[in-house]
Amino acid sequence: MGEEMQEVVIDSIEQLESFIGQYGDGYLFRGQTDHYLDEEKQISIPTSFERHDCIPPLMFKWTHYSKALIRAFGGGDYHDLDFGVSQAILQHYGWRSFFIDLSKDAHVACWFAVNKYNDKKNIHMCEDFEENPVWLVHKEALYLQTENRGHIYVINEKYFSDNNIKIHDLTKLAGDEGRLRFQAQAACLVEGVDGFLPQDSIVAHLNVNYDVLVKYIESKDITSTLDIFPDRKNDFILKFLLDLPWIKIQSDSDFPIPAYRRGLEIPEYDSMFVKHLPPSVTLYSPFWVSEKRQGEDTPFSMIPFYKIGEHAYFANTNDQFDLTEVNKILVEHDGLAIELDGLIKIPELGDGFEYEKGIFVEKVEDGIFSVSALVVEHPGHKVSGIGANQGWFYKVNDGIWKRTIHDKQCPCNNNLRHELQFSILRVLNESLKEGVIICEDNLNYYHEDLRSA
């Protein structure tokens, strides 16, 4: 059992400051505009997964980009980055997780105790870089002051260590690259137990007068939502996630103006209307490179293409895996391509409009194959170029692939990019073994999951 919880009603700034002053290191805070109880009259604070469920394909996509961003800007090995850390970070940008938001700073909790989340879909009527009309669907978010009493929960951090419950202190990830959202919120996230914050971890519940909360927040120089949710100019994680390609919304309507949604739907607190979109804003209408290669004399023209969902890129591994079925293909052909149904953005490439759309495998000499990215240049709504970049080379002995140094290998220092490219072969190999790859026509194949897409 934890400490006996105090119930405290606070009606003055002096009371609030005095009470909060009792809790220093080792205590965390959470603020809410409403106080929820379960059927047993216990405080009910659920994880976002408990409230909204999980969508695995989207979870893998969110998780990949969070880990890739941490690796690109903060260092560390992508495959060693804790799954919980990536989930905890993404919860701050609008994704669901197994964690519950807490803060090391009481003033942050007070802000959330007085401000209630709201969002709405808003359509921006813009022009692409060729001045064609387009609609962009934004999820515009804001916090509105409730003018009601707020609720602060004081949580004993020791309870979690005593009960082997994971907690992630995101303030330890602080760096010099701007001001990230979880830094502004002094965020700690704790793993839910059966989907909820353990009741025994809460040592106090403060029921606080609205005017007292506002005065306390203002004393800490918090004057707007952007003080708690830094804008994209200051938060590189937010900027990158918002720079992912927009995806065309498929419709049976004959309406002539195309509409697009974000690749990852993110609540926007700093949404601004931009009338003329620059080429760096990619408006992606799904297409297949394999369908554009007929009749062309290119390295792509005489090799089989395998269409697979973009989840193949996010379902990566750095473990060894079997490539028996892939090897059979390469006995008959001098190469193959695996094409994804989406565009992959690489953090290190910055604000450009080059994306990966799969991989290109090419036989360069007996027993030596290169594995490189199938790349597209996609300014705005147009595909301006298709090709393959430099890759890594592998020697195949008795069906086993082993990387070998080659004078034509990619000179970049981004090992992760090439590891993920190679890992896509595993998904193709497993799909072939499971019999879920369907022949479309000569040299064109697709995963059966795409049949209903």
| Short-list 431, 394, 433, 435, CA closest to 307 | 431
- Domain carrying residue 20: 6-241
Judge if 226 and 299 occupy the same domain: no
Q: In terms of domains, do 227 and 112 share one?
A: yes
From 205, 220, 241, give the residue that closes a domain: 241
DSSP 82: -
Query: CA 392, CA 238: separation in Å to the nearest integer?
Result: 31
Domain assignment present for residue 252? The answer is no
Task: Give the residue ranges of the chain where pLDDT is below 50.
Answer: 1, 50
Question: Is 209 domain-assigned?
Answer: yes
pLDDT (tens digit, 9 = 90+) per residue, 264-280? 888 999 988 999 999 99
Are residues 393 and 335 part of one domain?
Answer: yes
pTM, rounded to two decimals? 0.89
Helix axes 210-219, 106-114, angle to 10 degrees: 130
CA 9 to chain centre: 40
Into how many domains does the chain fold? 2
* Alpha carbon distance 423, 318 (integer Å): 7
The pLDDT score that the predictor gives to residue 113 is: 97
Task: Give the residue from 241, 270, 301 where a domain finishes.
Answer: 241
pLDDT of residue 133: 96
Residue 449, token pair as written in the block: 């999951």
Burial class (CB in 10 A: 0-12, 13-18, 19+), 397: exposed
Domain boundary residue, one of 184, 217, 241: 241
- Same domain, yes or no: 341 and 430: yes
Q: Do 296 and 236 share a structural domain?
A: no
Q: Considering Cα of 74, then 80, then 83, then 84, what sign does the dihedral take?
A: negative
- Could you report the per-residue pLDDT of 75-130, keeping only the tens digit for each? 667 777 777 777 777 788 877 778 899 999 999 999 999 999 999 999 999 999 99
- Looking at the fold, whether 328 and 198 belong to one and the same domain comes out as no
Phi-psi region of 232 (alpha: psi -120 to 50; beta: other; left: phi over 0): alpha
In this structure, are 216 and 359 located in the same domain? no
Give the model's pLDDT for residue 96: 72
